[in-house]
Chain A
Amino acid sequence: MFTRGEAFVWLTGSAMGLCLVLVFGLIFVIVINGMGMFWPHQVTEFKLKEGPVYVGIHTRSEVVKDEQGGKLERYQVKVGNRESGADFMWMDVPKVEAKAIPKDVIVLERFEYGDFIGYVSGFQQDGVLVPGADAKALLAEKLPQAQEAFKKVSHIQRGEMENIATKVNKLKLRKDKLAKATSDKSQEIAKLDAQLAVLLAENNKHSARILDLNKDPARYGLVVKSADGVERVVPMPNIVRYYYPNDMSFFQKTGHYGAKVWEFLFAEPRESNTEGGVYPAIFGTVLMTLLMSVAVTPFGVLTAFYLGEYAKDGIFLKLVRIAVNNLAGVPSIVFGVFGLGFLVYGVGGGIDRLFYSDILPTPTFGTGGLIWASLTLALLTLPVVIVATEESIAAVPRGVKEGSLAMGASKFQTILKVVLPASVPGIMTGVILAIARGAGEVAPLMITGVAKMATELPLDGNAPYFHPERKIMHLGFHIYDVGFQSPNIEASKPMVFTTALLLLVIVLALNIVAIVIRDHVKKKYRTGAF
């Protein structure tokens, strides 16, 4: 067995097998937990022997030791209704007297206090119960109107009002400057005041419109009753969506699932990130990774070409190579500290003093932002690109380079026309590795430009359209924040898995794009004769 080398096959094979098991295990756990989050789970009514009744979603069971040392099974149940206590509870199985699945149970997703699970009992208009009304039908009728109004309001706030706020800030700054001036500027100040007044009037108009839009939905409220019999009123504007989980067909459930996935991907977070969507985080992650690639590729490639083509062999070159390789092993938080000290405070602070001195001490570039986070990551992934590029340059056959030189090409022409195209696939491999490393990095981002909540995207419709100084949200940080910084760990757990799954998918997608480009280039510039 040893002489034939079969033992080694087994050894290497089992190492690979173990790797696969671990990787697939991780992916399996993330996929199973991440995909299930949006499915409308069945709601059960638990009647306890001691009297109280609960309705909730049975999330999991576990077996613990009871006081006598025996085994005790208990359920974890999501009962919702956070305003009246914890929304998760443990229920000892022996104490449950009866379980039922009531058809008419409703789940309300709300803007505040998370989900409500209970029963519909009436409909309110202007604070008065509508007598004899079909509450469910009224809910179905009035909620879309409220949602429509909400959409319009946020549109106004995001667009026009934000625009006005920016303009007002600018004018106020100019006014302050003029007020400090020694010569008499009262005429100009008056002009500015007039402009400000116009803007303010416009702003008031929008505010009035918002009030008007909000007025109608606020008149209506749904009266609901929780399992313990307490009635409460949920006003229309507070409802995100509602569903009757025990009375849905498979297709309704699928539709609900689709709507929730859509919301997750394209909406903003709610309830300190534990509900709603992660659109700003997706946007931030992708944009930051792309910016990082754009920054790291030319920088790394140029460095590698100097090392591989121009630098004379010697002790200095060896030292540089060792340094580059060691850079890859530096803990990422160290890069973060460097980014904060050098990029944010040094470079960013300098930019502020030069170009934004009127609004100091409020920093513009002198605080964490997209551009600094991207550049920090570019620095972090630089060794990967340099090493991959150097290797691919070295793989270009010497004969091909000589052929070019013998044709009367200069060294620069040879590099540009022969060596660079032939090493593009290798460079792309480096960029792919850099993306994989960069997209999953969290620690250095926390201090160079990622925020828990940043709904103002770095790309928007307000001039100058691209705002590299803005803070961004990031999926990796989102996972950390929701999973470990949230006050309600149980409620945020599904969100952690789903976000992790999404991050995996995004890294995979970015990589696939890069791989497709690389293969396309490879076909074009295949090297190696014979």
Chain B
Amino acid sequence: MPEETKKRVESEVQMKSLKTSIAETPEGTYATCIDIKKLNLYYGTKQALYDISLTIPRHQVTAFIGPSGCGKSTLLRCLNRMNDLVDNVRIDGEVLIDSKNIYNPELDVINLRKNIGMVFQKSNPFPKSIYENVAYGLRIAGITNKKILDEVVESSLKGAALWEEAKDRLNDSALGLSGGQQQRLCIARAIAIKPEVILMDEPASALDPIATGKIEELILQLKDRYTIVIVTHNMQQAARISDLTAFFYLGKLIEYDKTRTIFMNPTIKQTEDYVTGRFG
């Protein structure tokens, strides 16, 4: 990016006070679910996230948009501490989920992840049967009661709109499913552990339009019960399914507002350029 543009963006950000939380909706007040405070992330000596502050409301769909390499996936992976798995990563700042700092050294990461489901860009079912994929979270939690497992598998597959297609082949390998079905299976797997939050990292980017449509429909159904954070490259998708949108650029949060505002009437020129497809 030209130096000139960069400067312009920075000055714009400084000029207008950046909104980091959306307190009200026409329907009432948002309850805060995730509160990110002054988060900085470094890969070795390279800084990837700059001073991110963001409040994500409960039971809404929040979309992270921005060009490749802007840090939106990195931020998403901070929310369930998946970045811990990367060598040489350093994080400062706080992430509060239900008012508890998840970067507290005393916190049990495993319990945290049990509370946060994640769906990845590339569907990653385990090389096991469909049934075992969905029951995986319960099994590792030590649940062996067949009745409970059966119930959860059925309700999760129904929740992920896969039950009708999969009920007759629960013991077949999950790898025999189509790409879209596999991704819905991954969603079923995530909701089987009854998480608070579901993180989705470009869940439909590898799928055809029909499968994408199904996933989007599913996300809209799930938002009644789960707080969903979704990273997407697809502007239309963000516009269709999210309630709130955060636009990132070069590791910085540029603008955060209701989706309608971001797409129809963004405050910052940079955002407008991106959502209208003028760059990025």
Contact = CB atoms under 8 A, between A and B. Distances in A.
Nearest to A400: B124
B256 interface: no
A413 B140 contact: yes
B275 interface: no
- Residue picked from B80, B118, B125, B127, most chain A C-beta under 10 Å: B127
Contact of B140 (A397, A402, A409, A529): A409
A525 interface: yes
A46 to B, nearest CB: 70
Interface in A373-432: 397, 399-400, 402-410, 413, 417-418, 421-422
A404 B126 contact: yes
B163 interface: no
Nearest to A528: B175
Interface in B136-189: 136-137, 139-141, 173, 175, 179, 182, 186, 189
Interface string A476-505: 000000000000000000000000000000
A405 B120 contact: no
B124 A402 contact: yes
A407 B140 contact: yes
A416 to B, nearest CB: 10
B123 interface: yes
A428 B123 CA distance: 27
Interface string B104-118: 000000111111111
B90 interface: no
Contacts of B141: 408
A402 B85 contact: yes
A204 interface: no
The residue in A403, A407, A409, A525 that gathers the most chain B C-beta atoms within 10 A of its C-beta is A407
Given A399-B124, A403-B120, A403-B126, A408 B111 contact: yes
Given A397-B124, A421-B127, A530 B82 contact: no
B122 interface: yes
Contact of B126 (A313, A400, A528, A530): A400
B85 A408 contact: no
Nearest to B177: A529
Interface residues of B, number: 35
Contacts of B262: none
Given A402-B85, A525-B127, A526-B173, A408 B140 contact: yes
Interface residues of A, number: 25
B252 to A, nearest CB: 26
A408 B113 CA distance: 5
A402 B186 CA distance: 12
A527 interface: yes
A422 B127 CA distance: 7
A397 B127 CA distance: 10
A418 B122 CA distance: 17
Given A408-B140, A413-B140, A529 B122 contact: yes
B225 interface: no
Interface string A188-215: 0000000000000000000000000000
Contact of B186 (A403, A405, A525, A528): A403
Contact of B136 (A399, A407, A526, A530): A407
Nearest to B115: A408
Given A400-B124, A421-B128, A529-B124, A407 B189 contact: yes
Interface in A515-530: 524-530
Contacts of B139: 417
Contacts of B122: 399, 529
A529 B136 contact: no
B91 to A, nearest CB: 17
Nearest to B186: A403
A422 B124 CA distance: 13
B120 A408 contact: no
B169 to A, nearest CB: 15
Contacts of A529: 122-125, 175, 179, 182
Contacts of A410: 110, 140
B238 interface: no
Contacts of B229: none
A397 B120 CA distance: 13
A406 B127 contact: no
Contacts of B110: 408-410
A282 B186 CA distance: 51
Nearest to A397: B124
Given A402-B85, A405-B82, A410-B110, A526 B175 contact: yes
A414 B175 CA distance: 18
A405 B123 contact: no
Nearest to A312: B87
A400 B127 contact: yes
B57 to A, nearest CB: 22
B56 interface: no
B114 A407 contact: yes
B124 A407 contact: no
A97 to B, nearest CB: 78
A406 B119 CA distance: 9
Contacts of A399: 120, 122, 124
Contacts of B118: 403, 406
B193 interface: yes
A528 B124 CA distance: 8
A528 B140 CA distance: 22
A157 B115 CA distance: 71
A418 B126 contact: yes
A530 B140 CA distance: 26
B127 A530 contact: no
Most buried by A among B116, B140, B189: B140
A524 B140 CA distance: 20
A399 B189 CA distance: 14
Nearest to A530: B179
Interface of A: 313, 397, 399-400, 402-410, 413, 417-418, 421-422, 524-530
21 contacts: A400-B126, A402-B124, A403-B125, A404-B126, A407-B113, A407-B137, A407-B140, A407-B190, A408-B114, A408-B115, A408-B193, A417-B140, A418-B126, A418-B127, A524-B173, A525-B127, A527-B127, A527-B175, A529-B122, A529-B124, A529-B125
Given A402-B85, A408-B114, 16 more contacts: A313-B87, A399-B120, A400-B125, A403-B118, A405-B85, A406-B118, A407-B114, A408-B112, A409-B110, A417-B140, A421-B128, A525-B128, A527-B175, A529-B124, A529-B125, A529-B179
